[in-house]
Each structure stands twice: as C-alpha cells, then as structure tokens.
Structure 1
Amino acid sequence: MNVFELSPAIPQLASGDINETESFFNDFLGFDTISKMVEHSFLMVKRGPAEIHFWQSADRESAMNIATQSSCYIRVKNITALFEELKERGTTFRYELQKMPWGMYEMQIDDPFGNAIRFGEIIN
C-alpha cells in the first residue's frame, strides 16, 4: 500500500483583471505574489501556507458573475491579530470579526470582483 499525504487545497478563482487582483491581495490582505503569468492570464498569491490562484475571465462582467458565486475559506490561528492588521491596511470587510453559530470566529472580505475570502478560527 502506498502512503501519501494530501496538501491543503488551493482555490482557483476568477479575476476580471489580474493586475487589480494582485494589487488588492498584496496591499489589503498582505499576500505575496509567487507567480504572475500575464501571457497565460494567471496569478498565484501566498501568505504563509495559504495560497490562492486566479485566472483571467473574458471580461470584468463575466468575472463578477462567476466570482459572486465563489468563495475561499482560510483557517487562522490568532484571528484577532489578523483582523487588526487588515483594519490598519484599510481593508473593507463584508462583515467584521464575529462569532458564528457553527463554532467559528470569522470575518469576510470580498475581492474587487466579488470572490468571498473568509478567514476563520475555531472558537475554544
């Protein structure tokens, strides 16, 4: 029997403009660009072990139609510190840090095209 280990899932989300998406994730969420392939209309960003990939849709409108149906959930240790950092960066929240009935302390930011980026920590 072969032994293997799965790595964390990496969401691949729609973007209406790869450069705008890159700036948003770098400036407001503190992610670093690990790869940007303009000729292939593809972007990869990472912060710690969290990684997200973006593909360029046909246009802004189609990106927003797709993205408003997409989301990404990132688990966090010490989410309060991340929340404070994001506030200092001037990030706009869909909803700020709050305790959810499903046992998570979470917040949500929507990217420029409507992808929901949720951060959560298990409530102890």
Structure 2
Amino acid sequence: MLNSVCPILPSRDFDATSAFYDLLSFREVARFDAEGYLILVRDNVEIHFFNHPQHDSEASEHGAFVRVEDAMDLSESFGPLNLRTEGIPRFAKAENKPWGVCELEIVDPDGNLLRMGHIVDEE
C-alpha cells in the first residue's frame, strides 16, 4: 500500500533553501550536511533536498504538485509575504485552471516548481 510521496529537489545552498521555505511555514526537521541532504515539513507534506551547488536555477526542470485543502486560502496566506511575481523565486496566486484544479505556483530560489492545488467541484 502506498501512503505518500516526498519530492527530492536540488538545492544550491541549504541555508537559503531553508530560509525561503520557512517563509512558507515549512520547518527544517533534518539536515545532513556531510551527506548533502535536507528535509523540510509543513503539515503532512515533506520536501527533501539534495545538495547540488552547481545547479542552474534558470534551467531547472524539477517540481512537484502538492494537494491542498484550499488553494485560494493558502494563496491569500502567502500574499503578505510580498513574493516576486516574475523571475526566480516567484509566486503566482491561485486560480481555477481549465483542467479542473484551483492551483497556485511557487518557484523557489533554485528554480524548483511547486504547484499547490485542489480539485474544483463542478456543480
């Protein structure tokens, strides 16, 4: 039986990664500098990072989709953070997409894409 999945994403700098995700209310639960591994958690979501100092954030193709209870509420909670809306890192507010999902977008300092959303009820 499958229970969950944790994306493993590149990080050029664990301190910068941890600080960025702290803004999003993720907390650092484990760091293994010698092994090059970092684990961040918020609620029931874990995001793992591997150390990759040469990673090119502009060319990143890494990402994950995180199912959330209410993407609009989450998006509004990120509003006061004044995150950029262009470049890297960036934030795009939640909106209903043609594929039936209300989702927001976060791109972290390493260019990793996180889409966070919920299925829109069709009534």
Cα distance per residue 1:55-108 (max 9 Å; x no partner)? 01142xx24266x20111100102222111111233334422111111000010
- The alignment covers a number of residue pairs equal to 116
| Partner of residue 122, structure 1 | 119
**Which of 94, 110, 114 does residue 113 from structure 1 map onto?**
110
What amino acid maps onto 2:70 in structure 1?
N
| Partner of residue 39, structure 1 | 34
1:74 aligns with 2:66: yes
| Partner of residue 103, structure 1 | 100
1:25 aligns with 2:25: no
Percent of paired sites with the same residue: 27
Q: Tell me if structure 1 keeps the 8 A contact 2:70–2:117.
A: no
SS at match of 2:17: helix
Q: CA RMSD in A?
A: 1.5
What's the CA shift for 1:6?
1.1
1:85 aligns with 2:77: yes
What amino acid maps onto 1:89 in structure 2?
L
Q: Which has the higher helix share?
A: 1
What's the CA shift for 1:34?
1.0
TM-score, with length taken from structure 2: 0.86
Q: Tell me if structure 2 keeps the 8 A contact 1:104–1:122.
A: yes
Q: Which runs of 5+ in 1 are unaligned?
A: none
Q: Distance in 1 between matches of 2:37 and 2:56?
A: 13
TM-score, with length taken from structure 1: 0.85
What's the CA shift for 1:46?
0.7
Q: Distance in 2 between matches of 1:10 and 1:42?
A: 13
Q: Distance in 2 between matches of 1:9 and 1:18?
A: 21
| Partner of residue 4, structure 2 | 8
